[in-house]
């Protein structure tokens, strides 16, 4: 269901059911879909929480050297969701590494071809936390920033693991995009994506020229 | 004010005042609750701005009751979260200082969704921005992570993952504490706090 520009009502006109349904019912539905039952606006495109069971190809890596994409965490980014300089797509996630002492990697991608290594660790039994954003520069360019911590669950002493930054060269923000998460480790279930929150921080006005 | 599902209007139907009030006036009023007159949204569940803040009383944990906030039952769904950001100040006093909050403060006990922050061992006065994230995993479980920036932007941070024992479907009290290892009052002060709902268009367990 999409938004219809509200019409200008005319004196003495007989309103049809079609007009009422388009301009009252459907536009109301568009607006209320962005609010929860308490009236709060929804700020995330997608929120995923951990079910508690690590499963390869669902929320954890499969065995081998391939990058395992997790379809359940995939986020659809509507066309023009980011549409002016400074608009950002934020993500915050928590992961878990197993007691297996081997490399575990997290990749993110807006398109399936360009996978950005966002985390690479051999730390065992930790909770990596990943925060960052994809930003709009122009319709076909963008940038990526991320930072990660890791530490033991329940009051460990986490450390900063990595600051990542890279330019995006193949993006087209004016078309529908998807945010993909990939995991990779030699042994299955070495790394699990648990919770994943993705949403926009978009401004009423954005300006590249000023900065 | 509650939402009324928009009706499908039928040809030939004569719209009356009651319908216009329920379908147009009241629903617009409902949608306007969190929207300013210029159309911008108000995302925060609550914001506390500093007057004097709440500091520690002696050593150990001091409860900051003035910051108590009721989180309505059902406000957060599976896969959604509460994001809490704030600032604490510490004086140039040698000692461990911490800020913590939990979301089931009315039930107490040891099964907490609990965040910890800030171990200031150098005698340097500073302010420490912090952030907690409380994620609902099911009606009775959640995850929490928290971090601060202090002088060193690398942390410290604490991570708490797992069951909480509380119930997201009923009203919960979100409550803060400050901690000091020394007996001097107000060596740590909880200052501004902002609580935002991370509601999602699509939310689920994976």
The answer to ipTM > 0.90 is no
Residue A127 has pLDDT above 80, yes or no: yes
**DSSP characters for chain A?**
----PPPPP-TT----HHHHIIIIIIHHHHHHHTB-TTSPBP-EEEEEE--S---BTTTBPPSSSSPEE-GGG-EEE-TTSS-STT-EEEEEEEEEE-S--S-EEEEEESSSS--EEEEEE---S---EEEEEEEEEETTEEEEEEEEEE--TTT---EEEEEEEEEE-S--TTS-EEEEEEEEESSTTSEEEEEEEEEEE--SS--STT-
Q: What percent of chain A has pLDDT over 90?
A: 47
Specify the higher pLDDT residue, A191 or B92.
A191
Specify the higher pLDDT residue, A175 or A35.
A175
- Whether residue A159 lies within 8 A of chain B, CB to CB, comes out as yes
Strand pairing class (B126-138; B141-148): antiparallel
Residue A89 has pLDDT above 90, yes or no: yes
pLDDT band at A210 (very low <50, low <70, confident <90, very high): low
pLDDT at B125: 80
CB contact under 8 A, A92 and B24: no
Between A and B, how many CB-CB pairs are < 8 A? 194
Residues B52-56, mean pLDDT to the nearest whole number: 91
> Which of A36-40, A107-111, A166-170 reaches the highest mean pLDDT?
A107-111
Residues A29-36, mean pLDDT to the nearest whole number: 86
Least confident of A171-175, A178-182, A206-210, B63-67: A206-210
Residue B23 has pLDDT above 50, yes or no: yes
pLDDT at B155: 46
CB contact under 8 A, A24 and B9: yes
How far is Cα B59 from Cα B78, in angstroms, rounded to an integer? 38
CB contact under 8 A, A40 and B81: no
pLDDT at B128: 79
CB contact under 8 A, A49 and B137: yes
- Whether residue B81 lies within 8 A of chain A, CB to CB, comes out as yes
pLDDT band at B152 (very low <50, low <70, confident <90, very high): very low
Least confident of A118-122, A169-173, B103-107: B103-107
Average pLDDT along chain B: 81
How far is Cα B81 from Cα B133, in angstroms, rounded to an integer? 7
* CA proximity to B178, closest of B116, B95, B113, B112: B116
Closest alpha carbon within chain A to B155: A159
Chain B residues touching residue A70 (CB < 8 angstroms): 206
Per-residue model confidence as pLDDT tens digits over A134-184 = 999 889 988 898 888 887 776 555 666 666 677 787 789 999 999 999 999
Residue B29 has pLDDT above 80, yes or no: yes
pLDDT band at B110 (very low <50, low <70, confident <90, very high): very low
Residue A128 has pLDDT above 80, yes or no: yes
pLDDT band at B106 (very low <50, low <70, confident <90, very high): low
- B92 in Cβ contact with B53 (< 8 Å): no
pLDDT band at B120 (very low <50, low <70, confident <90, very high): low
Residues B65-77, mean pLDDT to the nearest whole number: 90
Q: What percent of chain B has pLDDT over 70?
A: 82
CB contact under 8 A, A47 and B116: no
Residues B147-167, mean pLDDT to the nearest whole number: 59
CB contact under 8 A, A153 and B155: no
């Amino acid at each position: 269901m999409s938004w219809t520009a509200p019409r200008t009502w005319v004196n003495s006109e007989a309103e049809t059911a079609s007009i009422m349904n388009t301009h009252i019912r459907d536009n109301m539905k568009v607006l209320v879909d962005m609010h929860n039952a308490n009236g709060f606006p929804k700020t995330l495109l997608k929120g995923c929480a951990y079910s508690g069971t690590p499963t390869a190809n669902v929320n954890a890596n499969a065995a081998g050297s391939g990058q395992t994409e997790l379809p359940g965490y995939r986020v659809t980014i509507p066309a023009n969701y980011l549409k002016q300089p400074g608009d950002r797509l934020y993500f915050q996630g928590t992961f878990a590494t197993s007691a297996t002492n081997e490399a575990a990697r997290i990749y993110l991608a807006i398109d399936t071809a360009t996978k950005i290594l966002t985390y690479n660790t051999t730390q065992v039994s930790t909770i990596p936390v990943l925060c960052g954003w994809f930003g709009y520069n122009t319709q076909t360019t963008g940038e990526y920033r991320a930072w990660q911590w890791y530490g033991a669950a329940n009051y460990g002493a986490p450390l900063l693991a990595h600051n990542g930054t890279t330019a995006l060269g193949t993006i087209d923000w004016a078309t529908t995009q998807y945010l993909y998460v990939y995991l990779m480790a030699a042994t299955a279930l070495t790394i699990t994506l648990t919770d994943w929150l993705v949403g926009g921080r978009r401004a009423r006005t954005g300006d590249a020229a000023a900065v | 004010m509650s939402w009324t599902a928009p009706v499908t209007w039928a040809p030939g139907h004569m719209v009356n005042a009651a319908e216009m009030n329920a379908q147009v006036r009241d629903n617009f009023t409902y949608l306007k609750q969190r929207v300013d007159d210029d159309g911008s949204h108000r995302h925060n569940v609550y914001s506390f701005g500093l007057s004097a803040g709440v500091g520690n009383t002696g050593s150990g944990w001091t409860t900051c009751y003035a910051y108590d906030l009721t989180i309505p039952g059902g406000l957060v769904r599976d896969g959604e979260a509460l994001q809490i950001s704030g600032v604490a100040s510490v004086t140039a006093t040698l000692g461990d200082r911490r800020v913590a909050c939990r979301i089931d403060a009315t039930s107490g006990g040891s099964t907490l969704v609990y965040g910890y922050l800030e171990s200031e061992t150098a005698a340097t006065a500073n302010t420490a921005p912090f952030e907690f994230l409380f994620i609902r995993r099911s009606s009775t479980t959640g995850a929490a992570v928290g971090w601060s920036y202090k002088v060193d932007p690398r942390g410290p941070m604490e991570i708490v993952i797992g069951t909480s024992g509380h119930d997201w479907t009923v009203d919960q009290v979100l409550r803060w504490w400050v901690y000091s290892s020394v007996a001097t009052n107000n060596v740590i002060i909880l200052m501004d706090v902002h609580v935002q709902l991370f509601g999602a268009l699509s939310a689920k367990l994976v």
